[in-house]
């Protein structure tokens, strides 16, 4: 069982109505797939709204890591708007 915490950027929360329920559904579906393929399951420990600073992906990752080193979970995931990140890093 991999315990996962998600940080969800304001951009994603604004675009996806019912983002918490959708995230739960996506994690459950991924867990079912992983379980069949490799006997690994995911547990969504928490989904948190994230007010992150914009900028390059490296800066965003550093900010997330500083904010949550993940000592009580196996994986920490940050969801950001793809178009903003792609434009900033392109």
Q: Would you state the pLDDT for residue 12?
A: 87
Q: Would you state the pLDDT for residue 88?
A: 52
pLDDT digits (tens, 9 = 90+) for 12-52: 899 899 999 999 999 999 999 999 999 999 999 999 999 88
The sign of the torsion formed by the CA atoms of 67, 58, 29, 32 equals negative
Q: Would you state the pLDDT for residue 83?
A: 59
Q: Would you state the pLDDT for residue 2?
A: 97
DSSP assignment of the chain equals -EEEEEEEEHHHHHHSTTHHHHHHHHHHHHHHHHHHHHS--EEEEEEEEE----S-HHHHHHHHHHH---TTSSEEEEE--HHHHHHHH-
Mean pLDDT of the chain: 89
């Amino acid at each position: 069982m991999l315990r996962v915490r998600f940080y969800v950027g304001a951009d994603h929360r604004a675009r996806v109505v019912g983002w918490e329920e959708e995230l739960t559904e996506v994690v459950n579906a991924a867990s079912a797939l992983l379980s069949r393929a490799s006997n690994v399951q995911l547990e969504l420990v928490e989904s948190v709204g994230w007010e992150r600073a914009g900028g390059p992906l490296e800066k965003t990752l550093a900010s997330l890591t500083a904010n949550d080193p993940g000592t009580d979970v196996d994986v920490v995931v940050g969801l950001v708007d793809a178009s903003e990140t792609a434009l900033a890093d392109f």
